[in-house]
């Protein structure tokens, strides 16, 4: 049985880790860490756990936690883990971090985009980027796991096979993505109030969103060169879900642009054996409602012959595959378990 500690257990992503692990046959949560709710019953913070979780929230003492558990999930703001993590802690316990502190290899890029100084840059090289379907073999031996962001997971997985196979020009890639409000976290913020969000759609972080360098770095590895993309996120009036619609110019080979069969063959080459990636039939496009509450990613595409571009579409639940579900999938891989364990939830509808 894997003993689990969670720092940030009372945020949306932390609570989603709890929900998933409560049905995991090989994991037991031993430490519900929450700086805001020390000594308060977890089920009093989230009443959906009434008569299911009896534990009281503890503090976020990572040194003590490392002595008592096998893996620590940190669902905390950017900069938190970077400021407290040490090599000594990593010698005792595996860490799966849901923040961006160890995702970006170039610390100067991280500090520029996040506007904070990294507290432990010497650990960045030890981290493994936890995009399961791409980095599975490296994840198996990871001690420090950087769990990808929700927008980045959608954006990268949707375009990855076509970038990897050279079917599109990655420097022409435009990503238009929409997210539910839970992606902004549980903290009280005026722009996220019901009256501000309901019956409205808005772009934010235009040209400045912090997931941009993460997308560029990871797709750059696939392209085997540095790339630059245009990424614009939008806030949608829904609780959960991300829908990414991506556009890129096709690359001609032997004087001919790739067709629908070439694009589908590329997706099937990389994803046909991936349980959590569902490549939709021709003419069917992803909808957030069909992945809600699950660890699935639905992907589809359409070639625009008039413009010589391909439109790629991907949808996932930002709290599951975009955060907690992927974190548990990573845990399963790191501990040699079937990576679907505890994650085979059917999407919730309606």
Would you give per-residue pLDDT tens digits along the chain (350 residues)?
999 999 999 999 999 999 999 999 999 999 999 999 999 999 999 999 999 999 999 999 999 999 999 999 999 999 999 999 999 999 999 999 999 999 999 999 999 999 999 999 999 999 999 999 999 999 999 999 999 999 999 999 999 999 999 999 999 999 999 999 998 888 778 888 889 999 999 999 999 999 999 999 999 999 999 999 999 999 999 999 999 999 999 999 989 999 999 999 999 999 999 999 999 999 999 999 999 999 999 999 999 999 999 999 999 999 999 999 999 999 999 999 999 999 999 999 99
How many helices (H) does the chain have, and how many strands (E)? 12, 13
Domains and CATH numbers, the chain: 2-148+321-334 (3.40.50.720), 151-317 (3.30.360.10)
- Which residues fall within 8 angstroms of residue 271, CB to CB, at 6 or more apart? 133, 161, 277, 279, 299
Report the catalytic residues: 150
Place of tokens 């699935």: 296
DSSP tag of 321: I
Structure tokens at 132: 């399961």
């Amino acid at each position: 049985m894997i003993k689990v500690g969670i720092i940030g257990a009372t945020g949306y992503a932390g609570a989603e880790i709890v929900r998933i692990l409560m049905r995991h046959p090989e994991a037991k949560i031993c430490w519900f860490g929450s700086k805001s709710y020390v000594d308060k019953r977890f089920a009093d913070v989230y009443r959906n756990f009434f008569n299911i979780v009896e534990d009281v929230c503890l503090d976020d003492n990572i040194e003590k936690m490392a002595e008592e558990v096998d893996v620590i999930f940190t669902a905390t703001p950017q900069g938190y883990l970077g400021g407290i993590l040490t090599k000594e802690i990593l010698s005792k316990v595996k860490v799966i971090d849901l923040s961006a502190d160890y995702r970006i290899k170039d610390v100067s890029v991280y500090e520029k985009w996040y506007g904070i100084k990294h507290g432990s840059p010497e650990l960045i090289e030890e981290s493994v980027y936890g995009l399961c379907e791409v980095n599975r073999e490296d994840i198996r031996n990871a001690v420090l796991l950087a769990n990808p962001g929700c927008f980045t997971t959608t954006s990268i997985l949707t375009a990855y096979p076509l970038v990897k196979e050279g079917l599109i020009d990655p420097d022409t890639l435009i990503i238009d993505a929409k997210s539910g409000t839970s992606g902004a976290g549980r903290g009280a913020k005026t722009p996220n109030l019901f009256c501000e969000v309901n019956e409205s759609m808005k772009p934010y972080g235009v040209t400045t969103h912090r997931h941009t360098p993460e997308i560029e770095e990871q797709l750059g590895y696939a392209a085997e060169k540095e790339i630059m993309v245009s990424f614009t996120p939008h806030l949608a009036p829904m609780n959960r879900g991300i829908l990414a619609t991506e556009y890129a110019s096709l690359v001609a080979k032997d004087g001919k642009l790739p067709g629908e069969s070439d694009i589908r063959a590329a997706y099937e080459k990389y994803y046909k054996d991936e349980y959590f990636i569902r490549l939709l039939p021709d003419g069917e496009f992803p909808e957030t409602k069909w992945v809600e509450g699950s660890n699935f990613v639905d992907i589809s595409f359409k070639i625009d012959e008039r413009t010589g571009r391909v439109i790629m579409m991907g949808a996932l639940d930002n709290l599951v595959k975009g955060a907690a579900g992927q974190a548990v999938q990573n845990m399963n891989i790191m501990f040699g378990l079937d990576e679907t364990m505890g994650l085979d939830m059917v999407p919730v509808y309606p």
